[in-house]
Amino acid sequence: MTAATHSGASLDPTRKAFYHGLLRQMVQLRRFEERAGEAYAQGRIGGFCHLYIGQEAVATGAISALRDDDYLFASYREHAHALVRGTPARAVMAELFGKATGCSGGKGGSMHLFDAPRHFLGGHAIVGSHIPIAAGAGFAIKSRGTDQVAVCFFGEAAVNIGAFHETLNMAALWELPAIFICENNRYGMGTALERAAAVYDIAHRACSYDMASETADGMDVLAMYEVTARAVERARERKLPTLIEARTYRYMGHSMADPIHGHYRTKEELEEQKARDPIEHLTGLLREGELLTDAERDALRQSVEEEIADAVQFADESPDPEPGALYTDVYAD
């Protein structure tokens, strides 16, 4: 693993606002997901709902290393990616509630969040189907000669599908400005990676395509930031793709409809992993470096609490799509 090992003492005091931003972002994601889980349990969110709790450092660290005009593609566990990119919590929560004010007009749902103006191009719910799509954005960037980067987030189970290999091959072959971030939360639904992959050091997969790769501590937001920044430089400056394996862990079940633990993992393992909690980790570093006071922490939590409560209320009070919306957006003019 090439992750940086940070200590409180190694933090740069001049970047306090940046650290606070990362912390607040992760807290926002956590609180958002907790409230989404609550709303799901109350029947206010339907369908599948895949929560990100435990993995906050990955989206927060990685997307913070990007420019706003870089393209983002994510899987169906993507509430966090939209939120970090800047889609208002109101619009994301409203989409989960299926409301007209949702970021996809209520027609996408939890798994299909879109915010095209912010270059967030979806929530894709066929495992790995967005890996080539992200490469297509990279192809377009190269074709147009701009210096954006296309970034794709997917789970570790997606590395076994054909499109992952086909795409990595073409991305390397054609030298596309693309970053493939594998969020290895260790379980594809209930199947541990070790039970599904012959080679489970995922970063090694890139060797087949002579592509740069790094493994990052996905529970460490600063590590994620730094690894991604290096990949961005590689893509933006040298038009080369990178595969990043972010080792992380999800605290919740595969979806709200799945058990948190049981046959496939133990409660003990879960508790052990929670000891690596990304929010606690960054909080600890900041406290250690004396860059976060109790008052600051409380104020941060309070502002998140208010933001998410507002988002839930907004989603709750928003109208359903007009009946006529059923037949719009099937075809473009």
Partner 1 sequence: MATITYRDALNQALREEMQRDDTVFLMGEEVGVYQGAYKVSRGLLEEFGPSRVVDTPIAELSFAGIGVGAAMVGLRPVIEFMTWNFALLAIDQVVNSAAKMLYMSGGQTPMPVVFRGPGGAALQLGAQHSQALEAWFAHVPGLKVVAPATPYDAKGLLKSAIRDNNPVVFLEGEMLYNTKGEVPEEEYAIPLGSAEVKRAGTDVTLVCHSKTVAVALRAADRLADEHGIAAEVVDLRTIRPLDVDTLVTSVRKTNRCVVIEEGWYFCGVGAQVVDELQREAFDHLDAPILRVTQADVPMPYNKLLERAAKPSPEQVLEAVRRVAYLER
Question: Looking at the chain, how many residues does it have?
Answer: 333
Q: How far is the CB of 26 from partner 1 (least distance, A)?
A: 27
Residue the block writes with tokens 């639904």: 189
Residue 179 near residue 242 (C-beta atoms within 8 A): yes
Burial class (CB in 10 A: 0-12, 13-18, 19+), 70: buried
Residue 166 near residue 132 (C-beta atoms within 8 A): yes
Q: How far is the CB of 185 from partner 1 (least distance, A)?
A: 23
Q: Report CA Rg, the chain.
A: 19
- Number of alpha carbons in the 13 Å side-chain half-sphere of residue 214: 21
Task: Name the packing angle between helices 162-173 and 130-144 (round to 10°).
Answer: 10
Q: How far is the CB of 8 from partner 1 (least distance, A)?
A: 41
Among 80, 51, 49, CA closest to 181:
80
| The pair of three-digit structure tokens given for residue 115, joined into one six-digit string | 């915010």
Give the C-alpha separation, 183 to 108, whole Å.
23
Between 268 and 333, name the residue whose CB sits nearer to partner 1. 333
Between 29 and 133, name the residue whose CB sits nearer to partner 1. 133
For binding to partner 1 (CB under 8 A), which residues are involved? 71, 73, 102-108, 112, 114-117, 121-124, 126, 129-144, 150, 162-163, 166-167, 169-170, 173-174, 328-333
Residue 227 near residue 57 (C-beta atoms within 8 A): no
Q: Which parts of the chain fold into alpha helices (H)?
A: 16-41, 56-64, 79-85, 89-96, 130-144, 162-173, 221-238, 267-274, 278-288, 294-317
Between 17 and 330, name the residue whose CB sits nearer to partner 1. 330
Among 106, 79, 51, 75, CA closest to 257:
51
Between 43 and 162, name the residue whose CB sits nearer to partner 1. 162
Between 137 and 282, name the residue whose CB sits nearer to partner 1. 137
Between 139 and 249, name the residue whose CB sits nearer to partner 1. 139
Residue 120 near residue 81 (C-beta atoms within 8 A): yes
Between 144 and 263, name the residue whose CB sits nearer to partner 1. 144
Q: How far is the CB of 276 from partner 1 (least distance, A)?
A: 34
Q: How far is the CB of 215 from partner 1 (least distance, A)?
A: 24
Q: How far is the CB of 68 from partner 1 (least distance, A)?
A: 15
Residue 41 near residue 256 (C-beta atoms within 8 A): yes
Give the C-alpha separation, 80 to 51, whole Å.
9
Q: How far is the CB of 206 from partner 1 (least distance, A)?
A: 16
Between 129 and 283, name the residue whose CB sits nearer to partner 1. 129
